[in-house]
Amino acid sequence: MASDEDAEFTALVERQARFIFRVAYAVLLNAADAEDVVQETFLKLYRNRGWKKAENERGFLARVTWRMAVDRRPRPAQPAQSIFADDLPDPPSPQPGPEQIVLAADRHAAVHSMINALPEELRVPLVLSAYDELNSREIGRVLGVPEGTVRTRLQRARQLLRRKLGALEEAPYA
């Protein structure tokens, strides 16, 4: 990779590889598969030179990655697990279970588990919106849904996470 074009592409990889990994992981929930998607995405971009004409670099990369990850997904998205569903009440636990012990030890890991347990339609916009990586309009373009739908899904995802976090905060001391 000696030419200017290759140097440009190398810079793109170094700039966006982790973002692309995050998008792929949000769909596949598997680090190895997500890395495969990252490599395939960049290989495809390198071959067709599609990355050069992208106006919104992150939005373009997110769209390409999301499509490749969805194509790679072996089966349709599973519905949300019942323990995180909004319509089911959380049963109070008199004693902290193993899950709660782990959550208490590592809160971030607990939130990651909750994010993984979210339905894909809520999880992917939430991950794409993290740290202002993409705004609602850009996420809507990536996923092919209206901006209002993205906002609703983001609110819904945060609401579910808040509820679960609240339950976990109270449960160990109950």
Partner 1 sequence: MHKDSDPDRLIDAALGTYARADSGLERRVLARIAAAHLAAPCTRWMLWAVALTAAACLLIFILLEHSKPAHPSGDNAANAPHVQQAPILVTPPAQRASGPHHAQPKNRARRPPPHNKAGTAFAARLPRQEVFPTPRPLSRQERALVNFATQAPIAARDSFVAAQQQTDAPIAIADLRIAPIQIPPLELPPPGTN
Instruction: Round to whole Å and give the CA distance between 101 and 140.
Output: 37
Helix, strand or coil for residue 48? helix
Longest dimension (CA), the chain: 65
Alpha helices in 31-146 (DSSP H): 31-48, 57-72, 98-105, 107-117, 120-129, 136-143
Q: Closest distance between partner 1 and the C-beta of residue 17, in Å?
A: 5
Task: Tell me which residues in 60-99 interact with partner 1 (CB under 8 A).
Answer: none
Part in contact with partner 1 (CB under 8 A); list of ranges 56-64, 68-76, 97-105, 160-168: 160-168
Q: Residue 130 is which amino acid?
A: A
Q: Judge contact between 1 and 9, C-beta under 8 A.
A: yes
**Using the rule CB under 8 A, is 46 a contact of partner 1?**
yes
Give me the 104-133 binding string for partner 1, x by CB under 8 A, dash otherwise: ---xx--xx--x----------xx--xx--
**Using the rule CB under 8 A, is 171 a contact of partner 1?**
no
Judged by the rule CB under 8 A, the positions of this chain that interact with partner 1 are 1, 9-10, 13-14, 17-18, 21-22, 25-26, 31, 34-35, 38-39, 42-43, 46-47, 107-108, 111-112, 115, 126-127, 130-131, 158, 161-162, 165-166
